[in-house]
Structure 1
């Protein structure tokens, strides 16, 4: 009783600080002490909310007091239904999301998983979300059956007053902006998005390149999306992108994806500090010369696990015009040996070309990504030893050149020492607590 009295006598600021320090399960238990304690825990309990289905969103809106929603800062929502859910009209589904967004003035991060487009009225609450800085929109449906229109997505993004980070995945081109794709049986286009109204600032030009006209944008990621719009070249760039992440589109070939990537790199390059690459860069005349390259500020280059390994040496070399300090590559476990060998080839080329070639390079890191298309059966000891030997050769080469290096997640083989780490690898961030329904 005495301890409870002491707790309730504490100033509110101290109570909130204590509550904020509690991990998820401890917070949940502590909130059940009494009603007064629960109220103190409300801001922390509802700071992060994850709603795994549309029906979870409905239950959340029906049961949570509206005043609690004002504490939400990070929300992940989806339009996907539970298996036995009844059919819901598009407008009713959209209204539920509008109700959530309209009640969250503190929202700073939004992850939106859609299965196709919502009604155009979903745009309405976004101009009022002044604290929203980070947004991710993913079409989790089949693009051919449930496409998500670029016009709707661009209008939403352009309506957010202070958007700085935007991630898009599996977005479909609109026939209004992609007449060249009409009749193409392999690339779906959206035909029913003409009712998306003109944007107050972007006007009727709601194609993906218009994202570059959002002045607050500093980080842009676009994956699994057709990037063949030539307007990327001549759209006025109002933002200063610092981080750019471009993925491949599965319905076009490597050469086309490469051309699209290089076009966008040329448009936004001067301010980009960090770039994630999924396709080869073949233009050595532009990107390899410090006096010509648009990527004059590029210091961190990331290469995805889907990147063609036989293009690693040439692509990295073709970006020699940039002051790259960190080169990080992801690969699948079965590609570790080939990737390490390719990086040795790049380092050999660096030695041959002399001190001016990648003179700012400080470290090379390799991390291993899980391959969803390959069974997770353990590899045999011979394969493990080969990977570890390849990693050690690469790291020894890096050490000789006074470069920091790290190779991640390789299995240990009895009798082999741990792979040396020349410089500490960043620790993984701990997961924040959240409300998941």
Structure 2
């Protein structure tokens, strides 16, 4: 596309376009092109502002301060998606709780129409910062985790849950590596109207004046009536309230992601996962699990379940029992998506082969994806290549395991096709769920969210 220049002919062509088309064009441009276009004229400057600030990523606390000091209020009001890290520029410059809370409260007040917020925090927030979230009426998606490169950072569940409960229209919540508060609140503190409810020790604990009066612990996430998607990764779910049938549940979750807690045993993770699914399973249509599901005395009920995705962190030995429990939970489970590492491929094939004939209610659509490696709890990203390694490149043992898996599914009346592809990964993975495929993926691409904002471009661009 040719941007309008300072010539009168170019100006005439650009300005004859309807405003709706001009705005559509700005939404298709990258950040550098937008910054160039907005310098052409005052009209273009105003026209480009919504697109420039639609999605903003701020990667350090110093850049957050720079943003607050240099970006006009009317410009920041265009922000719809905000990704903030309060990481310090160096390990020696620790960010105080007060400074972090004040800066975050300020930027939230500048973005009243915010819809999506991702927080990577270097410290817990001050309780006085929690009410600033209650004004974000349009915010539906929230993700919170500690800064990844600060190992000692631990975010309290009181802070994270209080933030989530303060948002009036939260629909999707993702939390990672959240520290549980101790000691746990007694069950009586959760019963509405109970005279034995302990008084909140801080604004974050009870959030006085807010829509909820119960303490801000992880089980109270289920009291958010608007919540439809919940993702909990690498966080202890060992609170006994999750196992209690008296836990108030106001949400109607349609999808849930439950990760494995690295400091717990596989059996503990499986037991906690079962308790959580039991509490919120009545409306669940899809689940993503990094741990198994244990057989408990209380029968698991998932009447609406259609899809199950098992991540590479899932132990192959838990495949049979987990699939049996999910299939017997009373749902319409038909789509099973299993992700595994190359080193686990043979074990995964063997376990799936053993359990396929014993899982009642089939046939199922199985999709098996193979990834190269993990870095901690995330997929390793190899150098970007133009194509994927075909399944035929696997060693003989892996090939034999895949053949046995194919035979097992065929014998059970559910044919499975093993596909090696050199084509790029489909953007919409759900399109492949109707095919029974085994896919080997050697290239995993990850996109950064939004435009990364540095310190210099704001002033050098001359926009302000």
- Under a length normalisation based on structure 1, what TM-score does the superposition of the two structures give? 0.81
Is contact 1:306-1:331 (8 Å) kept? yes
Among 215, 221, 225, which residue is 1:205 paired with? 215
CA deviation vs aligned residue, 1:278-320 (integer Å, no higher than 9, x gap): 2222317755xxxxx4111111111121111112122212222
- The match for 2:237 is 227
Structure 1 residue 108 corresponds to structure 2 residue 120: no
Among 264, 267, 279, which residue is 2:276 paired with? 264
Is contact 1:115-1:140 (8 Å) kept? yes
Distance 2:50 2:98 in 1: 31
- The match for 1:363 is 366
Q: 1:8 to 1:152 in 2, by over 3 A?
A: same
Distance 2:297 2:91 in 1: 57
Distance 2:156 2:77 in 1: 30
- The match for 1:248 is 260
Alignment partner of 1:38: what SS?
Answer: helix
Distance 1:431 1:376 in 2: 13
Is contact 1:219-1:241 (8 Å) kept? yes
Deviates more, 1:392-401 or 1:247-256: 392-401
- The match for 1:283 is 295
Shift of 1:67: 0.9
Q: 1:130 to 1:195 in 2, by over 3 A?
A: closer
CA deviation vs aligned residue, 1:221-275 (integer Å, no higher than 9, x gap): 1111111112122221101001111112222222222211111111111111111
Is contact 2:254-2:286 (8 Å) kept? yes
Shift of 1:111: 0.5
Q: 1:387 to 1:424 in 2, by over 3 A?
A: closer
Distance 1:240 1:408 in 2: 39
- The match for 1:344 is 353
Q: Which runs of 5+ in 2 are unaligned?
A: 1-6, 188-199, 384-388, 424-434, 455-464
- Under a length normalisation based on structure 2, what TM-score does the superposition of the two structures give? 0.77
Distance 1:430 1:92 in 2: 30
Among 190, 196, 207, which residue is 2:204 paired with? 196
Shift of 1:335: 1.1
Aligned positions, number = 404
- The match for 2:194 is none
Distance 2:116 2:39 in 1: 28
CA deviation vs aligned residue, 1:79-99 (integer Å, no higher than 9, x gap): 211127745432122111111
- The match for 2:190 is none
Q: 1:28 to 1:223 in 2, by over 3 A?
A: same
- The match for 1:303 is 310
Q: 1:429 to 1:222 in 2, by over 3 A?
A: closer
Is contact 2:338-2:366 (8 Å) kept? no
Among 245, 251, 268, which residue is 1:239 paired with? 251
Distance 2:286 2:174 in 1: 15
- The match for 1:74 is 81
Shift of 1:431: 7.4
Shift of 1:403: 4.7
Deviates more, 1:34-43 or 1:155-164: 34-43
Distance 1:4 1:282 in 2: 67
Structure 1 residue 436 corresponds to structure 2 residue 453: yes
Among 116, 127, 133, which residue is 1:126 paired with? 133
CA deviation vs aligned residue, 1:54-74 (integer Å, no higher than 9, x gap): 111111122222211111111
Structure 1 residue 217 corresponds to structure 2 residue 227: yes
Alignment partner of 1:15: what SS?
Answer: helix
- The match for 2:55 is 48
Distance 2:348 2:249 in 1: 36
Among 138, 151, 154, which residue is 2:158 paired with? 151
Is contact 1:168-1:221 (8 Å) kept? yes
- The match for 1:16 is 23
CA deviation vs aligned residue, 1:119-165 (integer Å, no higher than 9, x gap): 11221211110110000010236999432111111111111010000
Q: Which runs of 5+ in 1 are unaligned?
A: 181-191, 288-292, 351-356, 412-420
Q: 1:391 to 1:32 in 2, by over 3 A?
A: farther
Q: How does 1:399-414 map to 2 (within 5 A)?
A: 401-403=413-415
Distance 1:274 1:102 in 2: 35
- The match for 2:343 is 334
Q: 1:69 to 1:399 in 2, by over 3 A?
A: farther
Is contact 2:419-2:438 (8 Å) kept? no
Deviates more, 1:128-137 or 1:64-73: 64-73
Distance 2:98 2:380 in 1: 42
Kindly report the root-mean-square deviation, in angstroms, between the aligned alpha carbons of the 2 structures.
3.5
